[in-house]
Amino acid sequence: MKQLLLLALLPLSAAAAPFTPAPTLRYEPEPKELLEDCRAAKKRAESALEQIARLPASARTFDNTPWALDRVGAELSDATAADTFLKYVSISSSVRDAGNECETLLGQFSVEMFAREDLYRALKDYAAKGEALAGESKRLLDKQLLDFKRSGLELPKEKRDEVTALRKKLVELEASFGRNINEHKDYALFSAEELLGLPDDFVGRLERVDGKYKVGLDYPDYFPFMENSQNPEGRRLLEGKFNNRASVPNRPILKDVLDLRLKAARLLGYPTHAAFVLEDRMAKDPKTVAAFIARLRGKLKVLGGAELATLNHLKKVFEGEGADSTFRAWDWRFYDNQLKKAKYSIDSQKIKEYFPADLVAEQMLSVYQKLLGLKFRRIEDAALWHPDVKLYEVTDASGGEPISYFYMDLFPREGKYKHAAAFSLIGGRALLDGRYQKPVSAMVANFNKPTKDRPSLLTHDEVETFFHEFGHIMHQTLTKARYGRFAGSATARDFVEAPSQMLENWVWEADVLQSLSGHYQDRSKKLPKELLGRMLAAKNVNSGLIHLRQLLFGSVDQSYHGKPPSDTTAEYARLAKDVSMIPVSEGTHPEASFGHLMGYDAGYYGYMWSKVYAEDMFSKFKAEGVLNPALGRRYRVEILEKGSSRDEMESLKAFLGREPGEDAFLESIGLKPGKS
């Protein structure tokens, strides 16, 4: 109230509305208002589709049919960007629920749109004219025709309607699965004695409940506990809770989702959901993915087996010869950390003292600016959804109008999205008046919050995550694709991670690491060179097990989307034992919180697939200079600006100047090319 009275006394210019990079980005709606806005936007889109459908065949042009269809989807996405984004970041549970309802509504609308026979006929009528199209325009028409075909428009009406109904149901179930993970709340209570090994700053910030310390399941609590707690029973308890997140509601949802996906795929003429999904990816089919996973497993298995033996030996050193001979899921993070301490004197809790989050952010932005020829400026008077959030504008280093904008929302809070991700809010695209729409994106993370005694401090893994997610932001905000369908990171799903994975490499470069560091008590004190050397030497510690874990996730995903197993937990456990060599803890159901099964379905292998391309691209920088501005500009033009406006393999070849290969990837994880 005092603030409102003060604003009323200020001159009008001083009380101007906060800046927003797009008029549709409003972050303080009431739930009812949000849903009304969402429904109104959907209604406008429906009206626009009707106009497209009613045009006579003789009047059809590229602009009023394929491009018009692309504009409808893009305009609807822009109009509802804030509505759906608030599902992931709002402090209000009722607003998050409304955002989830909006997202479900729009997902169902998309299903309905691509099930419309009149729109498919409109596209085919235009295509029948045989107008000469090239490049991105031809790609748009071809992709749209395929979208309608893959939605069942070549099927008899009865089967087509069944596919549509299945997909609309799937939209509801997928949204519920993700919401249940985000909204899950659980924790464990520990006495002071049970927190042995935990850093003082970690213990000091924990909430107290009935005289005990409350450790939650969000990353800033879970990971430090699992890495440092010398209490095996405590780790077992917390790991059990972590891998049982949302298990009660999500296990039956997952079963229904897998069954419905398979049913829809078979109606469309595909043997499995994986076969349906992969048709439109770089990999093309499940056989190629299976061969990729098997080839990497063969190379990693011997390496991972030796690493596991080392960790088991270390476990006996800590717990005695009578220790459980099986290396458990709750052992992994702790003994991985202890090995780094013992062999390389690497203490992640000490290292993070040199990486205050605000300094890392400032210096990371500097790296990206130098590399890509950009300038970032924070906008102080921005409209935000939370006080922790910051907004920046992006311009070319040479000056001129802003190119785009991005937000940073870095710290956890109740109900917020639990992982790290980059959200595209407003997509880049050509407008009818000849202007180019400025993209807007948001980086969302869950780094530990600052306290009155310490700033937020990042582990080196979190610094790597920071660079990765900001790589997505650059992909999204530097796009120059003409059509919304191809803009930013809207690439083939098994390529989308490659640009950001490539940029993770910068945090393993000595000069860059030095520039990012500064002790939180005296920022002039950089990461000691001796410690830096040990960190770089330890880069590939347990790389076999780490990459086998990624292959486990890809294997689970492919298995679930082949012929779905009758028991998803049993199948996950079987594959964990076989692929990652670390068994699933009895009584846990990790598949219930495997959020990538919704959205990355049959596509999780893409993390490893794109990693191969990422390392090959980085090999160019390794050879020509990691901060080489000419090469950075080439990367910006050939990879980031193109999005999916041309085939992803063409973009790779254009940047590399050759066919891509996997030698650089194998070398990056400590394996010799051609050797297992």
Among 113, 236, 264, 239, which Cα is nearest to 174's? Answer: 264
Phi-psi label, residue 332: left if phi above 0, alpha if psi -120 to 50, beta otherwise: alpha
Q: What is the 3-state secondary structure (H, E, C) of 496-509?
A: CCHHHHHHHHHHHC
| Cβ neighbours of residue 130 closer than 8 Å, sequence gap 6 or more | none
- Burial degree of 649 (CB within 10 A; 0-12, 13-18, 19+): middle
Residue 572, amino acid: Y
Give the number of other CB atoms < 10 A from CB of residue 253.
18
Long-range contacts of 153-156 (CB under 8 A, 24+ apart): 153/114, 153/115, 153/117, 153/120, 155/267, 155/268
279 catalytically annotated: no
Q: How many CA atoms lie within 13 A of 84 on its CB side?
A: 22
Q: Do residues 571 and 560 touch, judged by C-beta distance below 8 A?
A: yes
Pairwise CA distance, residues 245 & 594, whole Å: 9
Answer yes or no: are the C-beta atoms of 390 and 358 closer than 8 Å. no
> Among 227, 307, 469, 497, which one carries the catalytic annotation?
469
At 673, the amino acid letter reads P
Q: What is the amino acid identity at position 197?
A: G
In DSSP terms, 391 is beta-bridged to 379, 407
Structure tokens at 592: 């219930």
> Starting from the edge strand earliest in sequence, which strands make up the sheet with 421-426, in order?
374-379, 390-396, 404-409, 440-444, 421-426
Number of Cβ within 10 Å of residue 208's Cβ equals 9
CB-based burial of residue 447 (10 Å sphere; 0-12 exposed, 13-18 middle, 19+ buried)? Answer: buried
**C-alpha to C-alpha distance for 328 and 306, rounded to whole angstroms:** 16
187-190, strands of its sheet edge to edge:
187-190, 212-216, 207-209
d(CA 610, CA 601): 16
Determine the 3-state secondary structure of 650 from DSSP: helix
Ramachandran class of 393: left when φ > 0, alpha when ψ lies in -120 to 50, beta otherwise? beta
Cα gap 144→114, rounded to integer Å:
9
Kindly give the residue spans of alpha helices, DSSP state H, lying in 10-134: 31-54, 66-79, 81-89, 93-113, 117-128
Identify residue 54 by its one-letter amino acid code: R
Going by C-alpha positions, the residue among 587, 589, 586 that lies closest to residue 572 is 589
> Is residue 81 within 8 Å of 24, Cβ to Cβ?
yes
What are all long-range contacts of 233-237, with beta carbons under 8 Å and residues at least 24 apart? 234/188, 234/190, 234/194, 234/195, 235/330, 235/331, 235/334, 236/328, 236/330, 236/585, 237/188
Q: Which residues are catalytic?
A: 469
